[in-house]
Amino acid sequence: MSAGAVARRYANALFQMGLTKGNLEEIMKDLDVVVHVFKDFPRIRKVYEDKKIYSVNKKKLFKNFFDGIIHYTTMTFLTVVIENYREEYLISMGAEFQRLYRKHHNIVEAKIITAVPLTEENIASLEKKLEEVTGREVALRSKQDPSLIGGSILSFGDRVINDSISYKLQKLEKKMRAENDR
């Protein structure tokens, strides 16, 4: 089974459990914590993904590390993930759960890439404008890429608006080459 299929299957099972128990928000926050720990501390992730460490020991480590931080439903789910040797897919499971959660709550994900960092005020203002345009709640992620030179690339739903200077320069260069070839 592919990594994506494994992540979808487990995330969907957890999502259905959360729907049934009415604790989707709780699970979402818990998974955010776990995924951030795995992303920010690769050594911890390596311990949990190490096939040489018995699952019993991993479960003990997991419970000791996250006890009091994450809720029972999430801890039970993570125990099953460890028992089934699926720890390496945990970050993908978190991303898939987040996708299901946002779809369920009618939240559209948007991403903006800019040459310089945006302030929190800029991000909040842009989120508000996107919410007006889409009629839905928007979760905006911001990323910086100096290679854009200036401007931005905004993507949300199936739309991409590339208003970067580097893109405009590429278009201009292409146009000039086409005119030169005549």
> pLDDT per residue over 134-143, tens digit each?
899 999 999 9
Q: Are 113 and 98 in a shared domain?
A: no
Q: Are 122 and 87 in a shared domain?
A: no
For residue 154, what pLDDT is reported? 97
Domain encompassing residue 54 = 3-103
Pick from 103, 138, 160: which residue ends a domain?
103
Q: Are 10 and 25 in a shared domain?
A: yes
- Angle between helix 55-66 and helix 42-49 axes, rounded to 10 deg: 150
Spatial distance between the Cα atoms of 66 and 146, rounded to a whole number of angstroms: 37
Token pair, residue 177, equals 């080459």
Q: Where are the alpha helices (DSSP H) in 84-159?
A: 90-104, 120-134
Residues 6+ apart with CB under 8 A from 98: 28, 31, 32
Q: Are 73 and 119 in a shared domain?
A: no
Q: Are 86 and 112 in a shared domain?
A: no
| Band of residue 181 on the pLDDT scale cut at 50, 70, 90 | confident
| Band of residue 180 on the pLDDT scale cut at 50, 70, 90 | confident
pLDDT average, residue stretch 138-160: 94
Pick from 80, 103, 126: which residue ends a domain?
103
Checking if the pLDDT of 100 tops 90, the result is yes
- The rounded mean pLDDT for the chain is 94
Q: Are 8 and 98 in a shared domain?
A: yes
Q: Are 65 and 143 in a shared domain?
A: no
Spatial distance between the Cα atoms of 172 and 167, rounded to a whole number of angstroms: 9
Q: What is the pTM of this model?
A: 0.78
Q: What sign for the dihedral angle of Cα 31, 32, 37, 40?
A: positive
Checking if the pLDDT of 173 tops 90, the result is yes
Q: Which of 19-23, 66-70, 160-164, 176-180 has the lowest mean pLDDT?
A: 176-180
Q: Are 97 and 119 in a shared domain?
A: no
Spatial distance between the Cα atoms of 17 and 9, rounded to a whole number of angstroms: 12
Checking if the pLDDT of 95 tops 90, the result is yes
| Number of domains comprising the chain | 2
